């Protein structure tokens, strides 16, 4: 949903915007337009209205979704997780009016169980994942996520971590580069790009995104030149590898479901098929009966743990796609917990 026009903003929102303008800072609310905001509120809202309800925003980012939920549900307590210290700082500023109703935790979202334990929380009512690289990370050129602007080959979502894209390019074997380009980028030219990168680094280190893009463009046959930017899938693969995104997600979704109370709900926004496949597999597995085939009566211990709330994966509608291009690839899945596994 687009940010509110100035005349409809709350006084504290205007004060925050004016403070950032006076200090030459960018207002977090102006950096990012939250994807499928109204739909996430519609799906999670039924379990968040009661006093003491707890929502975990596993990908806090700049706090757009979280702010909307805190405004919509005055008794809601929010736990916000993010691996990026800069995002936590900016989200903390944005959510300052709700300081008595929030806990922000610096961690990767597969540590949701540890984060909740540290806060003394046993179970929660709602969980939201808005996956993928954040607008802030894409827009900060120096983070190196973009193939369209020259920057150091970094791509760390947590800039306190040590492992960068430059290290991958410098140290991975041709076979390993080929594997991540194929598996994480679904790149048809993975073999060719891996071979050319290994040959190029023999002449000197590849430290900047512009240098890598030049190598990829030179290695791309003319017949593929009209299939989008040739570096797009390679950069996606490098980002996933640097941040171990898929391995983290595979651990996070089961732990998040385990943290839900009976009646609680989870909503996940995925932005590419690799993420969505992991989410789909886990939600569908837990929404299916575990009764052996041919059993005449389903025993209670075989009943599904989840009930799916949407059919398949929902996409953004045409209006939102036009309003917010970053919503174009989104796939939304949601489920309600109907049974707790002992």
Which residue(s) pair with 134 in the sheet? none
Residue 171 confidence (pLDDT) above 70? yes
Per-residue pLDDT at 141: 65
- Average pLDDT in the 268-293 region? 92
176 is in an annotated binding site: no
Residue 139 confidence (pLDDT) above 90? no
Residue 186 confidence (pLDDT) above 50? yes
What does residue 165 show for φ and ψ, rounded to 5 degrees? -65, -35
- Average pLDDT in the 99-126 region? 98
65 is in an annotated binding site: yes
130 is in an annotated binding site: yes
Residue 143 confidence (pLDDT) above 80? no
Per-residue pLDDT at 162: 87
Range scoring the smallest mean pLDDT among 100-114, 120-134, 283-297: 283-297
Residue 201 confidence (pLDDT) above 90? yes
Question: How far is it, in rounded angstroms, from Cα 54 to Cα 48?
Answer: 7
With cut-offs at 50, 70 and 90, classify the pLDDT of residue 160.
Answer: confident
Per the model's pLDDT, the better-predicted residue between 232 and 289 turns out to be 232
What does residue 237 show for φ and ψ, rounded to 5 degrees? -65, -45
Per-residue pLDDT at 136: 63
Q: 169 near 212, Cβ under 8 Å?
A: yes
183 is in an annotated binding site: no
- Average pLDDT in the 278-304 region? 83
To the nearest whole percent, how much of the chain has pLDDT over 90? 75
109 is in an annotated binding site: yes
Residue with tokens 């190196």: 144
- Average pLDDT in the 179-194 region? 97
CATH 3.40.50.150 residue ranges in the chain? Answer: 6-130+246-337
The CATH fold of domain 142-243: DNA polymerase; domain 1 (1.10.150)
**Domain 6-130+246-337 = CATH 3.40.50.150:** yes
Residue 22 confidence (pLDDT) above 50? no
With cut-offs at 50, 70 and 90, classify the pLDDT of residue 137.
Answer: low
To the nearest whole percent, how much of the chain has pLDDT over 70? 86
Copy the structure tokens of residue 230: 């040739």
229 is in an annotated binding site: no
State the average pLDDT for the chain.
Answer: 88
What does residue 274 show for φ and ψ, rounded to 5 degrees? -65, -45
> What angle in degrees, to the nearest 10, is found between the helix axes of 232-243 and 209-219?
130
- Average pLDDT in the 155-160 region? 90
What global pTM score does this model have?
A: 0.86
With cut-offs at 50, 70 and 90, classify the pLDDT of residue 301.
Answer: confident
CATH 1.10.150.170 residue ranges in the chain? Answer: 142-243
Residue with tokens 């909740």: 116
Residue 117 confidence (pLDDT) above 60? yes
Which residue(s) pair with 130 in the sheet? 269
Q: 276 near 333, Cβ under 8 Å?
A: yes
Per-residue pLDDT at 19: 40
27 is in an annotated binding site: no
């Amino acid at each position: 949903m687009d940010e509110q026009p100035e005349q409809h903003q709350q006084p504290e929102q205007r004060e925050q915007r004016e403070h950032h303008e006076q200090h030459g800072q960018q207002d977090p609310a102006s950096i990012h337009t939250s994807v499928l905001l109204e739909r996430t509120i519609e799906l999670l809202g039924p379990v968040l209205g009661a006093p003491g309800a707890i929502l975990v925003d596993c990908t806090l980012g700049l706090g757009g979704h979280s702010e909307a939920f805190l405004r919509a549900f005055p008794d809601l307590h929010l736990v916000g997780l993010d691996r990026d210290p800069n995002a936590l700082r900016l989200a903390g500023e944005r959510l300052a009016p709700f300081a008595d109703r929030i806990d922000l935790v610096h961690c990767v979202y597969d540590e949701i169980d540890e984060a909740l334990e540290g806060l003394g929380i046993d179970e929660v009512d709602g969980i939201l994942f808005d996956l993928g690289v954040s607008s802030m990370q894409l827009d900060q050129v120096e983070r190196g996520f973009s193939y369209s602007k020259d920057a150091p080959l970094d791509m760390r979502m947590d800039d306190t971590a040590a492992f960068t894209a430059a290290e991958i390019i410098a140290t991975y074997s041709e076979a390993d580069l080929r594997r991540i380009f194929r598996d994480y980028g679904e790149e048809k030219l993975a073999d060719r790009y891996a071979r050319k990168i290994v040959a190029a680094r023999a002449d000197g280190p590849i430290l900047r995104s512009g240098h890598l893009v030049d190598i990829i463009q030179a290695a791309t046959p003319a017949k593929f030149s009209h299939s989008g930017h040739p570096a797009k899938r390679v950069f996606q693969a490098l980002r996933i590898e640097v941040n171990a995104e898929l391995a983290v997600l595979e651990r996070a979704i089961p732990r998040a479901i385990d943290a839900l109370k009976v009646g609680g709900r989870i909503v996940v926004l995925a932005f590419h098929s690799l993420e969505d496949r992991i989410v789909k597999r886990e939600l569908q597995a837990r929404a299916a009966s575990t009764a052996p085939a041919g059993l005449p009566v389903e025993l209670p211990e075989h009943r599904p743990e989840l009930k799916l709330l949407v059919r398949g994966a929902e996409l953004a509608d045409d209006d939102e796609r036009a309003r917010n291009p970053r919503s174009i690839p989104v796939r939304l899945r949601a489920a309600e917990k109907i049974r707790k596994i002992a």
